[in-house]
Amino acid sequence: MAKVLIVGCGAIGYELANTLAEAGHDVTGLKRNPPPVSQEKFKFVSADITSPTGLEALGTDFEYIFFIVSADSRNENSYHDIYETGINNLLNRFAQASSQAPWIFVSSTSVYGQSEGEWVDEDSATLPDKSTSLKIVNAERKLMAHNPANVVVRYSGIYGPGREYLLRMARQSPSIQHNPPYYTNRIHQRDCVAVLAFLLERRIAGVSLEQCYLASDDDPASLWEVMTWMTEKLHCNPPIAKITEDDSDMNKRCRNDKLKELGYSFLYPSYKEGYLELIQPAIQHCDSLRSLFCSQ
């Protein structure tokens, strides 16, 4: 059993806390506004990482630390609060106690600036144009330099229940770049949780981890391919090919070789498995309505 701190208990952090607690670990979830009463198998602690005094009551005897915090908004100040002020406050808090607990830091593939459909991996250049993404790059570098045992996990676009933007787009006859292809990368939120639990298990088992893993499924498909498949499944109008734009800033293909070589097997290896699970209830509902009207 390990004593684990999860900084940030949003959707992914909360599910990870439950997963690790059910596996027998002693888990504490740090959240700015935790629920007043919790029936979970893990503990909550209320703290604001952007305030040094807000961390005074936080224990420092954790063996492993996860950082799964998102900025409140997309502006630079919010990213500064989390990825500079917040991380510095936490590092200072644990340094005061001489804690060497390794971190697993959740990052994003937005750190890559490649935009012409290139393949990227953990060793690819991280030179994004956006200042907010640069904040994440700097946080990655700081944590990797602070402790060689710290690990960065770069997620691509997260989808799953409650994260159904592409499905909503598919229902609106979207105008999509067709040629040259505009590549997209994604990971199901269940895989997000499973990857983090897997990395902790590997570390506890004594396996040497790399400092960075790119976490994205096996199929960096073009948005045209994804939308065409979705509209067929939803019985919607197909996408419309639009004029190619030259200002794409997120067109890349993500490799996950390093994570799979470590032994991870994706629960949802492509968008089809993940989105079909989300689409199926709607399809069944439509089939039920058709059966009802046809029988009358």
Give, for all 296 residues of the chain, the pLDDT tens digit.
899 999 999 999 999 999 999 999 999 999 998 887 667 889 999 999 999 888 988 999 999 999 999 998 889 999 999 999 999 999 999 999 999 999 999 999 999 999 999 999 999 999 999 999 999 999 999 999 999 999 999 999 999 999 999 999 999 989 999 999 999 999 999 999 999 999 999 999 999 999 999 999 999 999 999 999 999 999 999 999 987 765 667 899 999 999 999 999 999 999 999 999 999 876 654 444 344 344 44
The token duo for 172 is 């609106």
- The three-class DSSP label of residue 17 is helix
SS3 27: strand
Distance CA 294, CA 77 (A): 57
Question: At residue 32, what is the residue type?
Answer: R
Token reading at 94: 């644990």
Question: For residue 235, which amino acid is it?
Answer: H
Strand partners, 51: none
| CA–CA distances in Å: residue 80 to residues 75, 76, 135, 286 | 9, 6, 7, 46
pLDDT given at position 183: 96
- The H or E element that residue 108 is part of is strand 103-108
Q: Is the peptide bond before 180 cis (omega within 30 degrees of 0)?
A: yes
Determine the Cα–Cα distance for residues 102 and 66; give it in Å rounded to an integer.
9
Q: How far, in Å, CA of 173 to CA of 238, rounded? A: 6
Q: Which pTM does this prediction carry?
A: 0.93
CB neighbour list of residue 135: distance below 8 Å, 6 or more residues apart: 76, 79, 80, 83, 84
Q: What is the pLDDT of residue 246?
A: 59
> What type of residue is 149?
A
Q: What is the pLDDT of residue 282?
A: 63
Please tell me the distance from the alpha carbon of residue 82 to that of residue 10, in angstroms, as a whole number: 14
Cα distances from 244 to residues 176, 190, 247, in angstroms, run: 9, 34, 9
Helix (H) or strand (E) run with residue 230 in it: helix 223-234
Q: Do you find a cis peptide bond into 238, omega within 30 degrees of 0?
A: no
Structure tokens at 64: 């492993």
Whether the CB-CB separation of 51 and 104 falls below 8 Å is answered with no
